[in-house]
Structure 1
């Protein structure tokens, strides 16, 4: 793991953009950004993700090549970037445990998404930027019906379904609810993107 800045993320994303788009278009879709938590402790890193964000908002990259295919999201890894928060060990749908997402992590994830989306020429929406929970429930329709494994079905993966904050206080499987973790994170990312245009 190597500590990086938002500017480093921009540089890495711009370098990876041609290959990411080539790989995604070969699959008939756009580049995707998938948002996760590790289900580990603060300071515990895994190489399954391109970018990891620790408790205090410090950003780490596991690779210098964001176009490399890592194993962060089942059946969706090619032509995508995986971003994770180092948190949520022992979490369940009623309680995010002793390692919940911190405010610093949430804000930094939104900033990382804003930087990645701009560098990768992506709109920040639910078709291109998804939590693992949303991807697992196939809310973008990418996978065949019946392949779901998220909160609405088997609940194997429910990363960031809620954040445990005032904006996203509790479990819900209504993906149109503005309080889901994905909707909150995309909203914040779009806010940063717009602010940085000024």
Structure 2
């Protein structure tokens, strides 16, 4: 498990960056013992709400085989900007089997909130290493960026799996009490 923490274009709330650096190894240790799957290379980027959408779209385009059309890429950026207004963090898989976790520092007030977010997103990072998950996410991103269409059945299966993975991540949030 390789865990790196970076601060990107964060001019206020530097304390959140320090808290993430302190809590991330503790959360990763708890996740490796309790969640099925393994934590491969995880990069955590702490940033503000303005830089969050660009980092998410950049991490997602690394997954794509080809270059997305400009209209699809700008639509995804718009949708990600709307999401970034209230999102605390987002985990995006990498082609090598790792994950990039982008944390919005402005949405966190306490150390416990940071711990809960880290546990939740590291749970997703562990889920990315399970069999078939990365391929399913890549298929969905290809559809979102207009590279390859996804069958409706595959889209429904993806949504069902995302809901199940979210439930699992919410259930694992009790681990934050151990590290905060």
TM-score relative to the length of structure 2: 0.30
Structure showing the higher helix proportion among its residues: 2
